[in-house]
Structure 1
Amino acid sequence: MIRAEIIKQATALLGKKEIKGNQGFYDQQIDQEMRSLGFQDGYAWCALAAELAWTRAYNQFDSTMIKEIEKYFTAGAQRTYRKFKKSPFEVNQTPEPGDVVVWKKLSGGRNKGYGHVGIVTSELDDEGYFTTIEGNTNARGSREGDGWLPKRRKLKLSGDSGLIVMGFIKPKEV
């Protein structure tokens, strides 16, 4: 039930745009909500976009969960993952609709210290792909984009360059 609501809330954000340079959002309600989650001008905001979808969804069923998830989401992808990994939330390597997916960016085998985040909208298909809705992306799939878009991503759990999946954060049913 919560998973479907997370996807509904993420879908409602599709096509919404940022003000160039991560300076806020054209939609004033989204701008206010993102700032209430910790967004500041200049921030990368993909993790906060995922938090927004989860916050809106939990607000429909059990608003007490909002305080719980606020403890673990940050503006940083990898930091968000590390905090959830130590939390009561389940984290694993299998995508399910409604999950938060977290990637780390590697270059030459080195962790660059940043990453990307999205909301999973499908299970893994026969070709090893899953679909997402991601904030702060663009048509080319950049982790530094200008809005919310749907993506089809290959499940890549290892490698020495590009975006590598750290894991999938599971929502708690309510």
Structure 2
Amino acid sequence: MATARFIMGMLCILAFCGNRLPDRHLLSTAINVNQEETVLRKRIVAIAMGELGVRELTGKNDGVRVEAYLKVIQLGKGHAWCGAFVSWVYSKAGLAQPRLGWTPSLFPFRRLTKLPLPGDVFGIYFPALKRIAHAGLVEQLSSDWVITLEGNTNLKGSREGDGVFRKRRHKRTVARFANWIKQENKS
């Protein structure tokens, strides 16, 4: 585990510094930020995993837990809640953002990433709606697959489901990934 953290720290440093070697202070700062981010990402995934099995009360976007998710984005029962679930998880992890329920808003250009990490947000595009219409959290990547933790879905992966599920989605089915963690660490 320590070796993996060291390698991740070094990759972070190389990405930040390019071809020049960093000084010692920058080296220790980059590794510490990476460790903090890794801990935060693990916390986000753990919080989302703790919600697996939550179900709507009557199948109409309601129930105590679902309404708690919706409250984070200032909506009441009856609203679609996949984005609210993402926002709720981030709030429980101590992050100020996102607080968005409209799924396309979870993917502003400055947050997009091509290399998703655990805790990042993923979005599914629905051609009939001509927009991203479902979102959730990346648990892990496994070859060409993304293991996800998502609310308001079901066993079939619907965007209007009845609970919180772990899903296995092919990378090709994911339209966007967003990193809402990176800028939080900078502020």
Q: TM-score normalized by structure 1?
A: 0.73
Structure 1 or 2, whichever has the larger Rg, is 2
Q: Name the residue aligned to 2:105.
A: 79
User: For 1:167 and 1:22, how far apart are their aligned partners in 2?
Assistant: 28
Cα distance, 1:112 vs. partner?
2.5
User: For 2:146 and 2:132, how far apart are their aligned partners in 1?
Assistant: 22
Equivalent position to 1:166, from 165, 176, 183: 176
* Paired AA for residue 77 in structure 1: T
SS state at 1:15 partner: coil
Q: Which has the higher helix share?
A: 2
Alpha-carbon RMSD across the aligned residues, in angstroms, is 2.1
Q: Which has the higher strand share?
A: 1
Equivalent position to 2:120, from 78, 95, 99: 99
SS state at 1:122 partner: strand
Q: Name the residue aligned to 2:155.
A: 139
1:53 aligns with 2:76: no
Q: Name the residue aligned to 1:62.
A: none
Q: TM-score normalized by structure 2?
A: 0.69
List gaps (5 residues or longer) in structure 2: 1-38
SS state at 2:107 partner: helix
SS state at 2:115 partner: coil
Distance 1:26 1:53, change over 3 A: same
Q: Name the residue aligned to 2:53.
A: 15
Cα distance, 1:38 vs. partner?
2.2
Distance 1:112 1:46, change over 3 A: same
Q: Could you list the per-position Cα deviations for residues 111-135 of structure 1 after superposition, in whole angstroms to 9, with x for gaps in the alignment?
A: 5335111110002x22x10101000
Q: Could you list the per-position Cα deviations for residues 130-166 of structure 1 after superposition, in whole angstroms to 9, with x for gaps in the alignment?
A: 101000000111111001000001011xxxxxx5412
Greater than 6 Å deviation, 4+ residue runs: none
Cα distance, 1:168 vs. partner?
2.7
SS state at 1:34 partner: helix
Stretch of structure 1 that moved more, 140-149 or 11-20:
11-20
Equivalent position to 2:166, from 144, 150, 170: 150
Cα distance, 1:80 vs. partner?
2.3
- Percent of residue pairs identical: 27
User: For 2:177 and 2:68, how far apart are their aligned partners in 1?
Assistant: 29
Task: Kindly indicate whether the alpha-carbon contact (under 8 Å) linking 2:152 and 2:164 is maintained by their aligned counterparts in 1.
Answer: yes
Distance 1:23 1:145, change over 3 A: closer
Higher relative contact order (CA 8 A, sep 6+): 1
